[in-house]
Amino acid sequence: MARFQAYAAIAYGADGIWYFTYNGGGIMRLPKESEGKPSPAQTVEQVHQRLKPNYGPVAETNWRLRVWGQRLAGNDSAGVFSTGWNNRSWPFPEDLDLSGFDQVVPGPDKLIEKMSPDLLAGVLVRDGEAPQVMVVDCRVSKQYNTLPPREVEIDFHSTVQEVRIVSDQPQASDSLVPGSHVKLVLLAGKGHLLELSSLEPQLDNLCTSDSIYAPAEMSVEESVPLASISEDELQNIRVAKLGVDVAGANPEEQYHKPVFLNGQKVGLLPPNTIQSWQWLVMDLTPEQLRHIQRHNTITIDHIRSDAWKIRQVVLAVQKEVGTWIKSASFEKTYASEGWDYFEGEAFPEGEQLEIELDFR
Cite the beta strand spans of 204-263 per DSSP E: 223-225, 239-247, 258-261
> Which residue type does 173 have?
S
Give dist(CA 91, CA 95) in Å, integer. 9
Give dist(CA 204, CA 135) in Å, integer. 19
Question: Are 120 and 8 a contacting pair, CB within 8 Å?
Answer: yes
- For the stretch 19-46, what's the b/e string if a residue is b when 16 or more beta carbons lie within 10 angstroms of its beta carbon? eeeeeeeeeebbeeeeeeeeeebeeeee
pLDDT the model gives residue 158: 96
Give dist(CA 87, CA 278) in Å, integer. 9
What mean pLDDT do residues 77-83 have? Answer: 92
Give dist(CA 250, CA 1) in Å, integer. 13
Question: Are 301 and 331 a contacting pair, CB within 8 Å?
Answer: no
More confident residue, 287 or 279: 287
More confident residue, 359 or 222: 359
Cα–Cα distance list, 137 to 69, 128, 147, 188, 212 (Å): 20, 29, 11, 6, 20
* Ramachandran region, residue 212 (left: φ > 0; alpha: ψ -120 to 50; beta: rest): alpha
What mean pLDDT do residues 88-94 have? Answer: 71
Assess whether pLDDT exceeds 80 at residue 141. no
What mean pLDDT do residues 95-99 have? Answer: 62
- Band of pLDDT at residue 221, cut at 50, 70 and 90: very low
Assess whether pLDDT exceeds 50 at residue 220. no
Question: Are 271 and 316 a contacting pair, CB within 8 Å?
Answer: no
* Average pLDDT taken over every residue of the chain: 85
SS3 content of the chain, % helix, strand, coil (to 5): 15, 35, 50
Tens of pLDDT, residues 318-345: 988 888 899 988 889 999 999 999 999 9
Sorted by sequence, the CB contacts under 8 Å of residue 11 that are 6+ apart come out as 77, 80, 120, 121, 122, 124, 134, 135, 136, 191
Beta strand 181-186 pairing with 239-247: unpaired
Give dist(CA 261, CA 240) in Å, integer. 12
What mean pLDDT do residues 279-286 have? Answer: 90
Sorted by sequence, the CB contacts under 8 Å of residue 345 that are 6+ apart come out as 332, 333, 334, 335
